[in-house]
Amino acid sequence: MKQTKLILLALFGLFLFNSCKDKDPEPTNPITAVSNSIASLKSMTGISLDQAVAKFTTIGYAQVTSFPVGDEFIVRFFAGSDSTNGYMIYESKGVIFFCGYLGNKDKATSLSNFEKYSQDCNSYMTGKDFIFESELENLEGESLSFTTHQEFITQYLAIKLNLQYASESWLTAIEGVVAEYDYDDEDETIQTFIAYINREYAPADMFEEKAIIKNILKYKKTK
């Protein structure tokens, strides 16, 4: 959970601007401006890599690094001129099935962002049949898990000023959303994260383990 984030630091420290050929917008994805909203992240899935690159190019983001995860998929990071944020996508068989937004801010802003992401994810999944997983860890290394969003929020509010790590995931048979807050006390950085998963295009065995959150997010921390 607190592994070294060299890839992410490299992502945020590199300001690369690559010239990418414009592509026609995907007709089934009407949202063309990429942002950190769930609707926007969702619109980045189910499309080809070329289409995703074209969308990122329109907001001044370019790929800065990538690495394969076995033979199943490729993780790609995109950054722009702002070193405090970036995007990551998972690509399998030429199609994007995961898109997430990463941000490095001060503690107050990060807590506020995580709370918004948490609420956005919970609202998006309201009324759907989902598996919920969550985890909280304080600065002393004590961790707890919860089976409902309300239980999670109640304890989160009680320890938020002493928070090391927080994550929630909602997963249905066809999609998933994730919100995460991660404080690295070694380099004193805080990272927040929100992501959308399109299971139609994702490797099936990615969701076989019970610890869905860790199974999804472990690639974000791969060196």
In a domain, 116, yes or no: yes
The number of folded domains in the chain is 2
What pLDDT band is residue 219 in, cutting at 50, 70 and 90? low
* Residues 68 and 116 both lie in one domain: no
* Residues 74 and 108 both lie in one domain: no
Contact 136, 143 (CB under 8 A): yes
Domain that holds residue 39: 6-100
Does the structure show a pLDDT above 50 at 19?
no
Contact 12, 191 (CB under 8 A): no
Check residue 35 and give its pLDDT: 74
* Residues 168 and 217 both lie in one domain: yes
Query: For the residues 189-216, what does the mean pLDDT come to?
Result: 81
Check residue 82 and give its pLDDT: 84
* Residues 14 and 67 both lie in one domain: yes
